[in-house]
Amino acid sequence: MDIEVRIRGLMMDPSTNMPIVVLKDVASDTVMPIWVGIFEANAIAIEIEKLAAPRPMTHDLMRNLIGNLNARLERIVITEIKDDTFHAVLWLRQGNDEVTVDARPSDAIALALRLDCPIYVSEHVMQTAKLNTTGPPEGPTAEQLRTWLEGLNDEDLGRYKM
């Protein structure tokens, strides 16, 4: 079963200065952090803030391709964790055909924001990440991180601070 999530925040990890996308289960207070690269975080932040680039960025190009091929992005799902790396799948529909495409979660999230489609996390990934998230090497413990993330309020996050 997949769990629908929303972006709760986009911020810098205070101990490593790496960007974190904080996903929150829409039906509970469960949060799940995903560390991403600075360029990926920037692509997500640009869409959250509705900033316009003078030329299409990569995720804008992907959005345009999907639309021009008469397809639609129905959902993205963060499906698994392998070797401490999250994996995602894009679920596309073109006419009666459904197509799945492997993707990095950061790219999938950036595209989902541009196409206003729902974001899901598999229940297994949510449980694994919630219980076993260790963050980057030499970072806080899973419990310290979870307590810190769950304690964030809107003032702490600002409007998706980076």
Residue 11 maps to a domain? yes
Residue whose C-alpha is closest to residue 37's, from 54, 12, 15, 57: 12
pLDDT of residue 53: 87
Assigned domain for 161 exists: no
The span from the CA of 71 to the CA of 106, in Å, is: 21
- Domain residue limits at 27: 2-155
Q: Look at residues 79, 89, 8 and name the one whose alpha carbon lies nearest to residue 48.
A: 8
Q: How many domains does the chain have?
A: 1
Q: Integer distance in angstroms from the first to the last C-alpha of the chain?
A: 32
Query: In this predicted structure, what is the pLDDT of residue 132?
Result: 45
The reply to whether 58 falls in a domain is yes
- Region 25-53 average pLDDT: 92
Which of 41-50, 80-89, 128-137 has the lowest average pLDDT? 128-137
Helices (H), the chain: 38-48, 58-68, 105-115, 123-132, 142-150, 154-157
Helix (H, G, I), strand (E, B) or coil at 112: helix
pLDDT at 149 over 90: no
pLDDT band at 5 (very low <50, low <70, confident <90, very high): very high
What mean pLDDT do residues 98-124 have? 97
Residue 29 pLDDT class (50, 70, 90 cuts): confident
Q: Which amino acid is at 71?
A: A
Pairwise CA distance, residues 37 & 29, whole Å = 25
Take residue 118 and report the two structure tokens written for it. 């729902």
39 in any annotated domain: yes
Instruction: Let me know if residue 26 belongs to a domain.
Output: yes
Assigned domain for 72 exists: yes
Name the residue with tokens 């205070």: 14
Give the pLDDT band (50/70/90) at residue 136. Answer: very low
Domain CATH for 9 = 3.10.690.10
Segment (H or E) for 75: strand 71-82
Residue 162 covered by a domain: no
Residue 51 to residue 101: CA distance in whole angstroms: 27
User: CA triplet 149, 15, 46: central angle to 5 degrees?
Assistant: 70
Q: 40 in helix, strand or coil?
A: helix
Task: State the pairing for strand pair 119-122/71-82.
Answer: parallel
pLDDT of residue 125: 96
The reply to whether 146 falls in a domain is yes
Render pLDDT for 67-82 as a digit per residue (tens, 0 to 9).
999 999 999 999 999 9
